[in-house]
């Protein structure tokens, strides 16, 4: 019995002495919420990390640390040198890349995040038009810059016009055969963060972008929209009139024909919504019909224009390749890539305006 007790005590002492693991107390760490990368001349990268700073009166402000290095990893670890507490990346919310960095390719940066188990799959990635450092040094009320950008982007994904994306989805679309990734493109404008459009990638290199005004159509072609708004402009009797259509939900269906010879993609887009505002004469069921026709035409034209652009640039953000692959046995990726540029794509749009609001007919 005595022997057993001594043995147990001995094991306890040995294990608790040698088995210690470095403590990580949250108050003694800097928890980075955002990192940004700027290109600084040849092969030099400037990494900027944002850490929230909670003041005694409970207001939150920012602390940014920037360092220059040759590799993304080196630049990031240099951040530690400049900080008085160790910096951890377990709560990283958003990673920003300047346009220049994105155009050179973000392979290495993505690999760093992908390999690190402490970085979450929900990390948002975004491309910045302009200097990232400048954007991250900006202060916004209530939140630190990292959380602020994350909140703005994610609510715009849920009920706005940015296609849903995060680290996992970026990797998915990168690894999917017959698909190229897309990321939001933002800029700093009058001390506010402005969604400028979308950055289009070929692999991990940014090759093109589309402006904000095309984002509704792009998102409806990319995924099903739950809640969004759209503005229509028409000329009636020499007067410009505007429709505002709200509460839009969309559904898309693909059809690929003649897969083995000359593939042809048909995109069937169904849009549902209701009229909120109309600057012309009183809203009635006739106006709704007019709006439906107008919208059908406009969306169709815009969609065709976008797809033409993608084909010309040889990128496939809408995953036509994936649609073809999942419909054929022994899909030939190489042949598809050759055919993609000159492939025929038909777009069919169906708009249904279901409601015209809570008043009917006459003007006030």
Q: Which is nearer to another protein, 230 or 320 (CB)?
A: 320
Q: Which is nearer to another protein, 113 or 230 (CB)?
A: 113
Determine the longest span between alpha carbons in the chain, in angstroms: 104
Tokens of 116: 């690190």
- Closest distance of CB 167 from another protein, Å: 9
Q: Which is nearer to another protein, 134 or 322 (CB)?
A: 322
- Closest distance of CB 196 from another protein, Å: 25
Distances, alpha carbon 256 to alpha carbons 41, 175, 275, 310, 320, in Å: 46, 22, 33, 18, 9
- Closest distance of CB 118 from another protein, Å: 8
- Closest distance of CB 24 from another protein, Å: 10
- Closest distance of CB 23 from another protein, Å: 11
Q: What does the alpha-carbon distance between residue 31 and residue 87 come to, in Å, rounded to a whole number?
A: 6
Q: What does the alpha-carbon distance between residue 95 and residue 121 come to, in Å, rounded to a whole number?
A: 12
Q: Which is nearer to another protein, 90 or 105 (CB)?
A: 90
Long-range Cβ contact pairs of 285-289 (< 8 A, separation 24 or more) = 285/356, 287/356, 288/353, 288/356, 289/353
Q: What does the alpha-carbon distance between residue 63 and residue 101 come to, in Å, rounded to a whole number?
A: 23
- Closest distance of CB 299 from another protein, Å: 24
Q: What does the alpha-carbon distance between residue 322 and residue 58 come to, in Å, rounded to a whole number?
A: 49
How much is the CA Rg of the chain, to the nearest whole Å? 26
Residues that bind another protein (CB under 8 A): 11, 14-15, 18-19, 21-22, 90-91, 117-118, 120-122, 168-169, 171-172, 175-177, 322-323, 325-331
Quote the DSSP letter at residue 123. Answer: -
Q: Which is nearer to another protein, 175 or 363 (CB)?
A: 175
Q: Which is nearer to another protein, 91 or 272 (CB)?
A: 91
């Amino acid at each position: 019995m005595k022997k057993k007790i001594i043995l147990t005590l001995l094991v306890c002492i040995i294990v608790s002495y040698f088995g210690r693991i470095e403590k990580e107390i949250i108050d003694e760490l800097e928890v980075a919420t955002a990192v940004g990368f700027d290109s600084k001349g040849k092969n030099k990268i400037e990494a900027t990390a944002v850490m929230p700073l909670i003041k005694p009166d409970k207001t939150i402000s920012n602390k940014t640390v920037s360092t220059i290095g040759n590799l993304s990893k080196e630049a990031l670890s240099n951040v530690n040198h400049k900080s008085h507490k160790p910096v951890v990346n377990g709560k990283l919310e958003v990673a920003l890349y300047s346009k220049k960095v994105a155009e050179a390719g973000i392979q290495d940066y993505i690999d760093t995040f992908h390999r690190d188990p402490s970085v979450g799959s929900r990390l948002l990635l975004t491309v910045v038009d302009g200097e990232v450092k400048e954007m991250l040094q900006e202060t916004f009320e209530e939140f630190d810059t990292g959380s602020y950008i994350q909140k703005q982007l994610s609510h715009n994904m849920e009920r706005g016009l940015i296609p849903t994306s995060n680290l996992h989805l970026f990797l998915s679309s990168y690894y999917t055969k017959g698909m190229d990734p897309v990321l939001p493109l933002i800029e700093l404008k009058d001390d506010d963060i402005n969604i400028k459009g979308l950055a289009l990638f070929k692999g991990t290199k940014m090759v093109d972008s589309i402006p904000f005004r095309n984002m509704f159509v792009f998102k409806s072609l990319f995924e099903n929209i739950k809640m969004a708004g759209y503005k229509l402009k028409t000329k009636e009797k020499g007067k410009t009139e505007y429709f505002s259509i709200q509460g839009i939900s969309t559904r898309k269906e693909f059809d690929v024909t003649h897969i083995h010879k000359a593939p042809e993609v048909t995109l069937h887009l169904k849009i549902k919504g209701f009229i909120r505002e109309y600057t012309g004469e009183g809203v009635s069921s006739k106006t709704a019909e007019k709006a439906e026709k107008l919208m059908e035409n406009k969306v169709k034209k815009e969609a065709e224009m976008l797809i033409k652009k993608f084909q010309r640039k040889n990128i496939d953000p809408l995953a036509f390749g994936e649609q073809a692959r999942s419909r054929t046995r022994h899909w030939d990726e190489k042949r598809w890539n050759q055919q993609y540029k000159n492939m025929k794509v038909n777009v069919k749009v169906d708009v249904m305006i279901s409601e015209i609001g809570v008043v009917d007919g006459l003007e006030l």
